[in-house]
Each structure stands twice: as C-alpha cells, then as structure tokens.
Chain A
Amino acid sequence: MSDDAAQAGAVQTGAAQAGAAPVPAPNILVVEDDPEVRGIILAALDAHGYASKVATTGKQAIALAAAESPDIVLLDLGLPDIDGVEVVRAIRAWSEMPIIVVSARSEDADKIGALDAGADDYVCKPFSVGELLARIRATERHLAVAAAAKPTAPGAAAAPAAQASAPATFTDGGLAIDYVAGVVTLDGEELHLTPIEYRLLCLLSRNVGKVLTHGYILDEVWGRQGQKGDLATLRVYMGSLRKKIERDTAHPRYIQTHVGVGYRMMSV
C-alpha cells in the first residue's frame, strides 16, 4: 500500500471517454451495505473532490452502473442480496468500467473469483482511507493510459486481453514494448527475454493496472501453447522477468506481486 501511497500524484481527471463530455472529477459508484464504512468512504471521496453515487444492494448497483455509467465502481463483495462476483459479471457483460473490489481478508477465494470475473483491483478490509484513495488515483492513471492508447471508443469486447484492437507499442515509464518487432527496452537499453518471459510481459502490459490472477496468467501464457503450466514455474519465470526489468527488486516499480492472488503491472 505504501507503494501506491508514495506515488500519490495530483488527481488527474483525464479519464475522459471518447464521445462523452469531459467530466471535471470522476464519478464513483460506491456499493457498500454497511452504513459506517459507507459514511467513511463517502466522506473521504467528498473531501477529495470526487462525485459519488451510492448503492446498498447488488441489484441496485447493477441498475445504477447501467443508468449512471460511473467512471469507477467501488464494490463490496459481501452484499445482502446477490454475490459481489455476480455484480462484476453483470457489469462486465456490457462495460469495461474499472471495478475495485473491497473484501474482508477471509474472502480470498471470492476475491480471486471477482478478479477472474473481470474486476480490476481489490482493497482488503480494513483499509485506510489513504490506501483507498491511492487505488482510485492509480485506476485513474490506468484509465488515462488506456484512453491515450486507444483513441477510438472502447468496443464491446469483454475479454480483458482482447488482442484484436491492441496497439502496436506500449510505454510505461522507462519500459517500452514494441509488440510488432517483439522488442523490449528498459531506459533505452534492449532487454533479452526468453519467449515465456516476453509473453508474460505482453500479457501484463496489455492489462496494465489490472490484477491478473495466477490461473488467468497460466491459461493465457501456457494454456494457449497447449502446455500445462504450474504455479511453481510461473513463480520462477515471473521472478526472473522481474529481475530483468526492475532496477531495485526490493522496491519493484513495474510488476507488483499479490501473494495468493496474482500479479499486476503498474502504470508508473
């Protein structure tokens, strides 16, 4: 969390979606049934200039997400009526809007289920207000990056790694990937990656900002080759990839590990 907090920059409002009028501050849909927690979240969002809508049940959340098309959804997994994972699935059926899942730590499996269903990020309860705001800012940055990379309106493609409309290059801080040439450079120097490391990096970079679960990565990187990958192998390849792209492995900038969940590429 301190990583995110450390990167706390100015609030960006560049999440303009093509076709929609630019909004002065992101509109956030808060789905939380507990009044105390909801009160704190709303107060924090208000204090930092975000506009927010509130839903207290899953059904209400789906309806509001459709009606208001918020920029970011903050979704508590433990809802009184339907499973939070179902809410993620319902929203993903028509929209790519970023969803940040809020879960108690005892709900590990639900968390992974929500990420696999298409959620972008998660925050564990109890969270600090600073951590929550940092996540929202990070999501805004990803939105900006995505908007810059895809000047056309995001299509209805629901698959997170849709490669059809993928851009030809990716730039994130000192890291640059030329997907066409298959070349990766770090601060101008070319990196020598093994084929699997390259595939891992491509997968992460195409889903920048999203936490990708182990199962998803294994399916995408190994499953597509008709091979069976396992967690230990993934760990080791990821470890060696990170050694190559992180200048300081103790404080990684580009790829975050989420133990028990997966990996995420940060937009620096």
Chain B
Amino acid sequence: MSKPRAGVEEDSLWQRWLSWASAWSDAPLPRRVPAEAAVLAASLALATLVGVALDRLGLGADAIVIVYVLSVQLVSLVTVSHVTCGVATAASVALFCYFFTEPRYHLVARGSQYPGTFAVMCVVAVASSLIAMRLRQNARDSRAASHMMHVLLQTNHALQRCDSVQAVVGEAGRQLARLVSGTVVLYLPNAAGMLEPGALFLRDGSDAPVPDAGALDGTGVIAGPRATRQPNVPIEAAVAMRAYENDAPAGSGTALFSSSAGLYLPVGEKDKPLGVFAVLGQGGPLSAGERDMARAVAGETSLALGRELAAQRREQAMVLAKNEQLRANLLRSISHDLRTPLTSISGAAEMLLEADAPVPTASPAPQPGSNPAAPAPAPLAPERRRELERSIRDDARWLNATVENLLAITRLTSQGVHLDRTPELMDDVVEEALRHVDPKASEHVVATEPSRGLCLVSVDARLMVQVLVNLVNNAVKYTPTGSHITIRVERHAAPAADDAGEKDVVTTSVTDDGPGIAPEDRGRVFDTFYTVGHGLADGRRSFGLGLSLCKSIVEAHGGTIRLEPNEGDGHGCVFSFDLPACDLPGGDGPDE
C-alpha cells in the first residue's frame, strides 16, 4: 500500500487511527498473530488492574464487568480475527470469575446471580466487538475507496500532462506498477499483428529495457534486472492477444485465462486497442482491490489515449488543409511562372513568322488607309529580329530552370525525408552546379575559392546542385552585369550553440557585391513566392520559388540556410548554408 501523503486526507486523530487500523488489517497473518496476542494480553491485564482498583474502592461487580466489556471492545477495534474476539470474551469472563467472584482466586462462582452476569457479559462483549469490527471494516472500505480516488486523480493529472501517445502509455505503465507494487509489461502489436513485450515498468517507478525478442523465446520469461532485484516476469503473449482481440480484460480475476499470473488490460480507443498492459502483482496474484484499481487506471488511460488520438487527428486534418492551401498557392504561382515566358515565346515566334510570311499576291494591292485591319507587316529590322530570337532562347532557358525546380520540388515531396543520399565532395557539387547556371552568368565574374578542409557531405546530389544553381542564378538576377559572385566552401567545427557532440559542419556560401537586400526584406526572402520589391510575386516573374526551395532542400538535409549582408564589400549579400560534415569510414584518407 502506498503511503498516503501528509495533509491530503489524514487530518484528525480518529482518521489516522482508522487508517492505521485498516492498514494493520492488511498485514500478513504470521505477523499479526503474536501482535494480536500481545494486544489481547495487555488490554485484559489493564482491565484486571482497573478492576482490582475499583474493587478496593468498594465498587460493585457491575462496574468491573463494564470495564471488561470495554477491554474486549478495545481488542476488537485493534485486532482483526473473530477468534481473537472470542478468546477475549472468554478470557474476560474467566478473569472476572477468577479475581472478583467469591471464592476469590478460584474459577468457581458461588451465587445465583453469576450465571446471569456471565451470560450478559458474554452477549454484550460479543455484540460490542462485532460493532467495533464492523466500524473498522467500514473505515477500511472507505479508506480503500478514497485511496482509489486519490490514485485515479493522480493518474488523471499525470496523464493530462502527457502530450503524446507514447507519454500517456508510459505514464500509465509507471502508475500501474506503483499502484500494485509489482511489474507491468506493455504488449504492443508488431508488424505481423502479433503482440510482443514493448516496455517494462518496475515497481520503483522506473522503466527497464525489454530484452530482444530472441532472448524471450527460450525461457518465456524476462529476467528481472539484477540491480533492482525484480522477480522474473512471465511472458503470456497468448493471454495478452486474447485481451487485445476481445478488447476486454483477461487473465487472473477474469473469466478468461483466470489461472495466468497477471491481469491483462487492453488500452486504447474502443474496439481499437493500442496495446495491452500486463499487471503482475508482487509475489502473488493481485487482490480484488488492486484489480479494480488497475482496471480503473486502464480505463483512465484509454480515455486519455482517446483524447490524444483525437487531438492528433485534428492536427493532421489541419496540416492537410494547410498543405492543400500551399499546394493551391504553388499551382497558382507555377502556372503564372510558366505562362509568362510561354506568352513571350509564342508572341516572339509569331512576330518572326509573320515578318517572314510571303506577301499574299492574290489580294489587290492595299489602298493606303482603306484596310487598316490588315496592314502589310513591316519588315523587321535585323537588330529587332535578333532581339526577338534572343528572347525566345532566354525564355526557354528560364522555363527550363523553372521545370528543374519543379522536378526538385516533386522529388522532395514524393520522397519526404528519404533523400537519395550519397557522400559527395561539396567542391564537386559546386563544379556541377556551375555547369548548369544561367548562361547570363558569363556576364558576371563568378569565382570559386579553393575549399578548406575535407568538405564531404551526405546529400542528394541533384537537389544540392539545384540549391547552388538557384543561389547563383539569384545572385546573377539581382546584381548588375559585371558584379562579382564568389563561392566558398569550408569545413569547421559546429557553432557553440549546438552542443550535441563535436560535429563539424560544411559551410557553402555564395557572396555577391550587388546592391544587397534591405534588412526588412531579409527575413522573408526564403518565403514561398516572395520576390523582393514586389511583395507577393504576382506582377512579374518570380524566382521566389527558387529560394524557398533552397531552404526546403537544405532543411531536409538537416542543415540551415541564411542571408547576411556582405560586410567585406560593404554592399551585396551572402547566402550561406551549413550541412553536417561526414567522415570517411575508418578515416583512411589519402596522405596529403
């Protein structure tokens, strides 16, 4: 029995007494017999002493009888068994007879009134001891009920603090183990739908790891952890399975498998249990009270799980709705991004075709001003023609860049977190990316600095190339012709803020010396569909897709991306991203 906490319910002497007495009632028999005998002897001796004193004072035998009856009642308040009460009644009659009836100090009473006195004494002593025992039983019941309420309340509070299904189940397991002072095994369904032990909760409120399934097969028990001197835990997967399938308790104290060692309680939503708690008492089956309490806790757990699962479903629905919204925005933005260059391409091509079309000879020579709807196309000036041709080529390239980004988005969303990672030198990624940047980059001075350190990263190479392509294209797009764009790669120890081990990072940066980005815009450049100077991109072509994609890709690789002003040149900006560095297996790198 767990000790009640001070100040929670024990506030009066009477209640404290009741709790002590009821706790005493639960003590094991071998400990109880000598103690009850001692209580019996002490109270009878006390009654006899008081009787002797009263006798000296000259009071009659009636007063002494009442004293003995009182002592019997006292004994029955303290002791548990009816036998003790019977013995106390008989002994008090015998003592009274021995000490206080004539002839004194003989177990004989001479006098016609004594048989009646003895009979009344017996009846009154038995009756009052029965009342006392009933009183104590009530106290004990009410104490058990209040303890159960207390435990349930505590469990409820603990479960409400949990914010995940795992936390709820773990807390419930610990509570159950503490409650029955035993061991609790949580059975969870495996991939094949069969139950196997998933977690172990010990009576001292700690969790223990469950040994491998392989180790379970031979013995059928989990060996108790040596340090905690826990008894071995029997594994009764069949019982757990039955409880799981029926979504009803099974095991000891139920109709199903009543001979098994533990009580098996399914938890989870109705008809969809998540798992089964096996509650095993310490050194024997659970008492009825413990079973009731375990069931109540399991019920409480199921309620908490239901709440948690419902909350999860709501959250999923919200994420889904948000994704739908994002997808709709993305589609709107993409179709805009695709249509603009397509319009320009088809327009330019039409103009070229029209200019080259043979002049229809069948139609009469147009009178000046008579048919303004169909004027003869003016021949295109050569420079105008070249301009149109160049715009077709540029727009096609731009379309291709957009399609590459769309492909990257598809890869990212269809693979989720499972990237096609291979170890790559960041230098190689940079080299590959520079082969795919906008041809307009040749109007800029693009330089790559030699890398510092072993810049090996585990990345999805094509996505990472896309990040660099987008960053360089972005720099090309937003800086005037002739600006300097520098790419640096270096490996260094992770910033101190991240103290999760000494892990190196590889930082790649793209620096330009263009006009730079205003501080108020810096935080938003990675937002989807945001182009600087235009708010949400709707008026002109956006590469907003590109930068937000960079952020998504880098973050999917567990890295971070940021934008800083270019301090070195005083103007321009630095886009840089960190990726966790890799090491060679075995560290057998070439000698440098």
Residues of B within 8 A of A249 (CB): 427, 448, 450
Indicate if A60 sits at the interface (CB-CB under 8 A): no
Indicate if B311 sits at the interface (CB-CB under 8 A): no
Q: Is the CB of A260 within 8 A of B461?
A: yes
Which chain B residue has the least Cβ–Cβ distance from A263? B428
Which chain A residue has the least Cβ–Cβ distance from B423? A232
Indicate if B11 sits at the interface (CB-CB under 8 A): no
Bound form: Cα–Cα A30–B429 in Å: 31
Residues of B within 8 A of A7 (CB): none
Name the one of B447, B461, B582, B590 contacting A237, with C-beta atoms under 8 angstroms: B590
**Residues 175-216 of chain A: 1 if any B CB is under 8 Å from the residue's CB, otherwise 0?**
000000000000000000010110000000000000000000
Which chain A residue has the least Cβ–Cβ distance from B465? A259
Contacts A2-B442, A239-B427, A258-B432 given; does A233 touch B450 at CB 8 Å: no
Q: Is the CB of A250 within 8 A of B450?
A: yes
A50 CB → nearest B CB, Å: 23
Residues of B within 8 A of A1 (CB): 435
Residues of A within 8 A of B465 (CB): 259
Interface size on A, residues (CB 8 A): 27
Residues of B within 8 A of A257 (CB): 428, 431-432
Q: Is the CB of A236 within 8 A of B589?
A: yes
Residues of A within 8 A of B396 (CB): 126
Indicate if A240 sits at the interface (CB-CB under 8 A): yes
Name the one of B428, B442, B591 contacting A235, with C-beta atoms under 8 angstroms: B428
Q: Is the CB of B584 within 8 A of A232?
A: yes
Bound form: Cα–Cα A201–B290 in Å: 76
Name the one of A194, A235, A250, A258 contacting B425, with C-beta atoms under 8 angstroms: A235
B579 CB → nearest A CB, Å: 14
Contacts A106-B407, A126-B400, A250-B447 given; does A233 touch B431 at CB 8 Å: no
Indicate if A48 sits at the interface (CB-CB under 8 A): no
Bound form: Cα–Cα A1–B404 in Å: 17
Residues of B within 8 A of A106 (CB): 407
Contacts A233-B588, A236-B589 given; does A259 touch B432 at CB 8 Å: yes
Bound form: Cα–Cα A41–B448 in Å: 34
A246 CB → nearest B CB, Å: 10
Indicate if B492 sits at the interface (CB-CB under 8 A): no
Q: Is the CB of B461 within 8 A of A259?
A: yes
**Residues 372-408 of chain B: 1 if any A CB is under 8 Å from the residue's CB, otherwise 0?**
0000000000000000000000001000100010010
Bound form: Cα–Cα A258–B592 in Å: 24
Bound form: Cα–Cα A51–B423 in Å: 43
Contacts A194-B591, A232-B584, A259-B461 given; does A2 touch B435 at CB 8 Å: yes
Q: Is the CB of B590 within 8 A of A230?
A: no
Can you list 16 A-B pairs with a CB-CB distance of less than 8 A?
A2-B435, A2-B439, A105-B407, A197-B590, A230-B585, A232-B585, A233-B588, A235-B425, A236-B589, A237-B590, A238-B425, A239-B425, A249-B450, A257-B432, A258-B432, A260-B461
User: Lowest 8 A-B CB distances belong to which pairs?
Assistant: A232-B423, A250-B448, A259-B432, A257-B428, A260-B461, A259-B461, A240-B590, A239-B425
Instruction: For the A-B complex with A196-B590, A230-B585 known, give 15 more contacts whose Cβ atoms are closer than 8 Å.
Output: A1-B435, A106-B407, A194-B590, A194-B591, A232-B582, A235-B423, A235-B425, A236-B425, A236-B590, A237-B590, A249-B427, A259-B429, A259-B461, A259-B465, A260-B422
